[in-house]
Structure 1
Amino acid sequence: MEITKILVPVDFSENSQKAVEWALLLGEYFKADITLIHVLLFYQEDVGKSNRMEAFEQLVKEKEQEIHRQLEEQSRIVKQENLNINSVLMRGISPADTLLEFVHEKNFDLVVMGTHGKTGLRHFVQGSVAEKMVRNSPVPVLTIHRTVENNAIHRILVPVDFSIYSTEALMWANEIAVRYQAKLVLLHVIEREVYPSFYTEEAELPPVDENLHSLAREQLREFVSDFVDESAIEEIVVREGPAHKEIVDFVKEKDIDLLVIATHGLTGLEYLLMGSTAEKVIRWATCPVLTVKRTTRFQ
């Protein structure tokens, strides 16, 4: 795994400041260049203040100058002698689409960004820029929830579902564990029935036999043996229930510092009905979440 270029979307909120701090931590360790980016949305400007295009362009120019000043100030505050930090301001209609285009164009290795943790109707209507990035980014995305306080990495959780997607998450987690001398906790969640997400919480099923738990732990240890250093494994855990809920609960219970999870890239009707476990996790997890895809450039 080689990380040489890190992109950090910023909106000058407390959330994005936490993302910048994590980017600096990783940038220093990997000796990576860091780019801070702000997307100025067209509809944020009050076109109605004037019927003249010249006045509108002047309004946009003044806003851009203010954002440039804020970006320069942000870069100055976080400037470190051993890191190359620069800033970019882009215009766009959709923040996620603009960021994705920039990631493709400049070949970044990692995106680090804050998530505001929208829920309920507001989330259903607006979604989340972070979740859209997780769904569509060709490179790993590290999301930092607004509740994250710690920026040390001692225990890394990796949910494993025995799919080929999990192998990518295992390789990334193992590499980070080796570099940071951290321990890995492997979690498999048994989901016996799959319902649309709005039914899942209410479904109550009899507990799975403990022998199945034991068998799953043995199979999990065998499955991961080709991808992780066994000495780095602290614990192998099997739980049952809705995957996203069990993962989020485990993070809270066990003081996990980083969660590395694979996203399967659901789209269309399947995504609408089932959602994505990874996206649900980044919405509620209280630790940073690194999401990776099978198509991720792992070296």
Structure 2
Amino acid sequence: MRPKNRVRRKLKMEIKQILVPVDFSEYSDRAVDFALTLAEKLNAAITLFHVIVMFSEDVDEARRLKEYEQVVRAREKWIQERLKAHRMEADERGIAVKSEVRRGFSPADEILEFLAEKDFDLVVMGTHGRTGIKHLIHGSVTERVVRLSPVPVLTVHHAQHEFNPKHILVPIDFSRHSLKAVDYAALLAQQFQAQVTFLHVIEEMIHPAFYAAHMESLFQLDPQLKTRALERLQSFVNRSDLNAQYMVLEGKPYKEILEFANQHNVDLIVMATRGLTGLDYILLGSTAERVVRLAQCAVLTVGHVEEENQE
């Protein structure tokens, strides 16, 4: 691990409007807690957002629309009471808060549509962390929002009891997307006085020379590879006014990110997501989405970065 180095860049973004989708699960309640903490730190406002999924309880009720309308209205009343408790907590902490309830068939689509209509800076939401067959069958509202949101998304696991990051991990792949992740990590590091580690993972590749030489590591095959990568990493990240440290590892990116986070008490991962869709997503998945699904800490994903002048 390299010694800490001071790197500088003037931050240009701010977080003033936070959207918090809620479904009143333990994951959702934890997301509200995290959002309230962020709002206090950043002097931001919160909008609580709930989607009533139409015809989700009983297919027979859909055939009796009048009766079903009564069911939905009763549910709306119950939801407003639940939201009121969250609003009262925000009021007590001096946080501006609003709430919105909509009807729809897809919570993810309703969240994305609401994001397109309003001017939000961040989404904070819980994740159930599904894996295996259950994940393949049901997918995840959170993962769809992570993949398609026009603003960063902070995903929260219920096992993490509070949002007070002291060690932030920022995976870097040298894309322009990574640059925006650096800026958001810097913003939060300054607010929470957190340590930041920038990590680049050199992906294992199958190459005849690797096996012919009976090497166990790419760093054995090219002894200067790690040094060059560290120098490139420091130069690339040299844009934020931070005390930062740098790491270069080899392996599967998502596995190395998760292992490093678990072994070094990381409580927030900030990373870029490429926003894969269609066949690319089905075939390749996403390093960021695997990290979101499997990480034991909160993950802030930053995507949909426009081309910028990087000078």
User: TM-score surpassing 0.5?
Assistant: yes
Q: Contact 1:168–1:294 at 8 Å: present in 2 too?
A: no
SS in 2 for 1:213: helix
Query: Where does structure 2 lack aligned partners over 5 or more consecutive residues?
Result: 1-12, 207-214
Structure 2 counterpart of 1:222, from 235, 248, 253: 235
Per the alignment, residue 244 of structure 1 pairs with 254
Per the alignment, residue 213 of structure 1 pairs with 226
Per the alignment, residue 176 of structure 1 pairs with 188
Q: Contact 1:164–1:294 at 8 Å: present in 2 too?
A: no
Per the alignment, residue 128 of structure 2 pairs with 116
Cα separation, 2, equivalents of 1:152 and 1:119: 27
Moved over 6 A (4+): none
Deviation at 1:120, TM superposition (A): 0.5
Q: Which amino acid aligns with 1:263?
A: T
Per the alignment, residue 243 of structure 2 pairs with 232
Correspondence list, 1:147-186, <5 A: 147-186=159-198
Deviation at 1:49, TM superposition (A): 4.4
Cα separation, 1, equivalents of 2:297 and 2:149: 20
Deviation at 1:46, TM superposition (A): 2.1
Cα separation, 2, equivalents of 1:51 and 1:162: 54
Cα separation, 2, equivalents of 1:52 and 1:283: 39
Per the alignment, residue 126 of structure 1 pairs with 138
Per the alignment, residue 92 of structure 1 pairs with 104
1:262 maps to 2:272: yes
Cα separation, 2, equivalents of 1:297 and 1:36: 31
Residues 222-272 of structure 1, C-alpha deviations (whole Å, 9 max, x = no match)? 1111x222x420x21111111111111111100112111000112222211
Residues 31-77 of structure 1, C-alpha deviations (whole Å, 9 max, x = no match)? 11111111110132324148532112111111111111111123224
1:57 maps to 2:69: yes
SS in 2 for 1:22: helix
Deviation at 1:279, TM superposition (A): 0.4
Cα separation, 2, equivalents of 1:20 and 1:207: 44
TM-score, normalised by the number of residues in structure 2 = 0.86
Per the alignment, residue 38 of structure 2 pairs with 26
Residues 66-105 of structure 1, C-alpha deviations (whole Å, 9 max, x = no match)? 1111111232244334211122111111100000111111
Q: Contact 2:181–2:270 at 8 Å: present in 1 too?
A: yes
Residues 134-159 of structure 1, C-alpha deviations (whole Å, 9 max, x = no match)? 10000000000232234212111100
Relative to 1, partners in 2 of residues 1:168 and 1:271: Cα closer, same or farther, differing over 3 Å?
Answer: same
Cα separation, 2, equivalents of 1:175 and 1:257: 15
Q: Contact 1:260–1:291 at 8 Å: present in 2 too?
A: yes
Per the alignment, residue 72 of structure 1 pairs with 84
Q: Contact 2:34–2:162 at 8 Å: present in 1 too?
A: no
Q: Contact 1:182–1:232 at 8 Å: present in 2 too?
A: no
Relative to 1, partners in 2 of residues 1:15 and 1:52: Cα closer, same or farther, differing over 3 Å?
Answer: closer
Relative to 1, partners in 2 of residues 1:297 and 1:257: Cα closer, same or farther, differing over 3 Å?
Answer: farther
Q: Which amino acid aligns with 2:243?
A: A
Query: Where does structure 1 lack aligned partners over 5 or more consecutive residues?
Result: 195-204
Percent of pairs identical after alignment? 46
Q: Which amino acid aligns with 2:284?
A: M
Relative to 1, partners in 2 of residues 1:77 and 1:176: Cα closer, same or farther, differing over 3 Å?
Answer: closer
* Pairs aligned (count): 285
Structure 1 vs Structure 2 CA RMSD: 2.0
Structure 2 counterpart of 1:290, from 285, 288, 300: 300
More off after superposition, 160-169 vs 37-46 = 37-46
TM-score, normalised by the number of residues in structure 1 = 0.90
Q: Contact 1:114–1:143 at 8 Å: present in 2 too?
A: yes
